[in-house]
Structure 1
């Protein structure tokens, strides 16, 4: 009986206004947060559905472009460390020539800090810095002392003169002649086992500008890929992640080709995020011949004006 009186007293007692307002505010916040995540989930499902059902080629291209070339860019697995400083010290990059090359390009000029200072920042590739990244990784692959450059396909097909390739004869941004910096500096010291791993990965990585893999880095993109593979192996990055990173690099260097490849897989009912990067980088899809077959199989996709990368600075 006494307990009932206490309960009745509490029920009929006026609740302070601040408690009412607090309860209303927090319940509103909970509802808002719940609605946000529901809307986000529904939007993501809509994008996936739209990419499979849209009748507009232009609309599909924009969806695929965002998947292949995210606006926020792609964060690579490696950090800069002192690699940039060593590139300057080795003579493969002339700081003055580099600044002149990128004059008017504020993003690339801002990236010069990675050549001037040691940094724990991870490397990032995006539409704005793709040219800076391909040139810098090209320089790394070119100058780093490498068994691949000293004994591999460059020597075999160069027949004793490796300066006639695009990746060597086309480099003119150093303080020294290219034949002086070629495979000259131990920026990335690899164990024999790591050298074998680099060679294995490089032989699986192609680029749409030619029919060669990155163990034969006869163009700037191949040399850049080699430089990245060496750095990633040295820093202990897994092979799966290295392939994903190279696919991202290639995508920003050859946007037309990889949006077309995404369209090809889209026709097969596969989303870009689910594609095996090693498979996408294989000769069947990423060599010049493979890319041409993909283009023919999907025909020309309207709505994309970017013509892709070229082999040069």
Structure 2
């Protein structure tokens, strides 16, 4: 009897020991799994931190690279040209083409003209300086000059043929609100430049090669403010016997400041192709392939998603 009891106790004790062993093994397994999970979580955090750090460094590097490209397109210091402005500003005001109060309002929202551009309207013979601060001034003043100066491009060109000889409703005419009277009161009415036949042909040639990204037209069809302003710049430089290369170079600088993102994107296009923007001829950059609305649309797809760190505004066809 005692022996049977001893056997039962021994068996029961063995069962308890086996159960404890199973529980111990299970606890060990759980502890190992928990430790492994914590380790993986820690590694995941380190990995995420590394990715975030690498992403920030890459973004900073991209911004730095883009800033380098921006400086190739537009000089921080602006530009100073030897082009003589003469008393053109004063004449435009006297003829009513430019109303100084309206011009000031278009630039500052007030009746006060910025002091750095006032000199271009007082009749003193100033050299033209161009920078980010006065690019809008030159766009508006040259717009008025191109509109009012008598030229065959306005009298016999696309402005007439594309409108059944009624060019009053283009953006460059109907949208011009900077004069004392309406735009057509001044349209091709005054001779501010005396061009001989050879010079006129040169104006027409260069105008036909200079495009703008706000539309698909060349300067030979100046149906918006940028086209009309560019026409005036070309006429001015041709009248002072500048070379074709000098005129294209100057035109590119004006276009780049009127449409900065366009030319940043074009510079990026060439950078991707292994070509330096500064080595491309201005005539090529201003061509239909790159500077027209259609041409730039192709370029823009390549630069989609880029955020230019120095970009402030985009050109628009209005005063």
Which TM-score bucket, shorter chain as reference?
A: 0.7 to 0.9
1:134-283 residue pairs with structure 2 within 5 A? 134-283=139-288
Deviates more, 1:289-298 or 1:103-112: 103-112
Assess if the C-alpha contact under 8 Å between 1:77 and 1:245 holds in 2: no
Tell me by how many angstroms 1:277 deviates. Answer: 0.3
Assess if the C-alpha contact under 8 Å between 1:98 and 1:173 holds in 2: yes
The one of 114, 121, 136 aligned to 1:115: 121
Tell me by how many angstroms 1:98 deviates. Answer: 1.8
RMSD: 1.9
> Does 2:71 align with 1:66?
yes
Match of 2:5 in 1: none
Assess if the C-alpha contact under 8 Å between 2:209 and 2:283 holds in 1: yes
Distance 1:215 1:285 in 2: 17
Count of residue pairs brought into register by the alignment = 260
Tell me by how many angstroms 1:125 deviates. Answer: 1.6
Tell me by how many angstroms 1:77 deviates. Answer: 4.3
Question: TM-score, normalized by length of structure 2?
Answer: 0.77
Query: Which aligned segments of 4 or more residues in structure 1 are displaced greater than 3 angstroms?
Result: 103-109, 303-307
> CA deviation digits over 1:64-117, x for unaligned, max 9?
111111111122341211111111122110122223333368884431221112
> CA deviation digits over 1:146-205, x for unaligned, max 9?
111000110010112101100000101111221110000001111111111100000000
Match of 1:28 in 2: none
Assess if the C-alpha contact under 8 Å between 2:63 and 2:308 holds in 1: yes
Assess if the C-alpha contact under 8 Å between 2:98 and 2:144 holds in 1: yes
Change (3 A) 1:71 1:104: farther
The one of 285, 294, 318 aligned to 1:312: 318
Structure whose CA Rg is larger? 2
5+ long unaligned stretches in structure 1: 1-53
Give the number of the structure with larger relative contact order, counting CA–CA contacts within 8 Å between residues 6 or more apart: 1
